[in-house]
Amino acid sequence: MNIFQLKYRACFHIRLFMLFMVLVAFNTNPVQAQSQGVLLVMGDSLSAAYGMPTEQGWVALLQQKLTQTNKDKPFNIQVVNASLSGETTSGGLQRLPGLVQRHQPNYVVIELGANDALRGQDLRATERNLARMIEISQQAGAKVLLLGIRLPTNYGPAYDERLAQTYLNLAETYQLDLDAFFLEDVALDPGLMQDDGLHPNQAAQPLILQRLWPRLQNLMALQN
């Protein structure tokens, strides 16, 4: 065997070894994600962990759950919490295009409207704002989950029913999954609410996530 044949065989085996190592690297990674994407939460104080450290709110607990569930193959989904205390649908609509451009979400949770209603605003404007937020999200290719809220009894049944109907209209028009009152499991229990009677406390946050988890699983097509 001459020197050229020896060099050829040496190069061939080196290349073969390098290809083998690449294949091993791709196939023996011990942790691989079942799913990938970005979940954007557009909410108000009810999703912004008002009155408690941010990491104790239900949105932060969601990120923890996604990371810890199925430790062999965790859900590789980044949760971006863009919720602001006091946020209205008008403010959310103004911020959403920039957030969509920056984060390119695959999924959007919209939890807004409570502050509009508490201020007695025209709910027709609220519905238009939410509709536009849904359209912006869907046009960007994101799937949307809509979370509704109900008002304290002192606001009167007619206005509260109009707010409830707003969410129902949007869910029907845009074919969305809707939780019509996502605080229903905690709102009437004083032990799970802060002193203002409007905001869930720290103990309520896992219960809120527990209620929403099946809908979020469906939204992101997650399977345990």
Report, as residue numbers or ranges, the catalytic residues. 45, 196, 199
Question: What is the C-alpha separation between 161 and 164, in angstroms, rounded?
Answer: 5
DSSP assignment of the chain equals --HHHHHHHHHHHHHHHHHHHHHHHHH--S---S-EEEEEEEE-TTTTTTTS-GGGSHHHHHHHHHHHSSTTS--EEEEEE---TT--HHHHHHHHHHHHHHH--SEEEEE--HHHHHTT--HHHHHHHHHHHHHHHHHTT-EEEEE-----GGG-HHHHHHHHHHHHHHHHHHT-EEETTTTTTTTT-GGGB-TTSSSB-GGGHHHHHHHHHHHHHHHHT---
Q: Which amino acid is at 136?
A: I
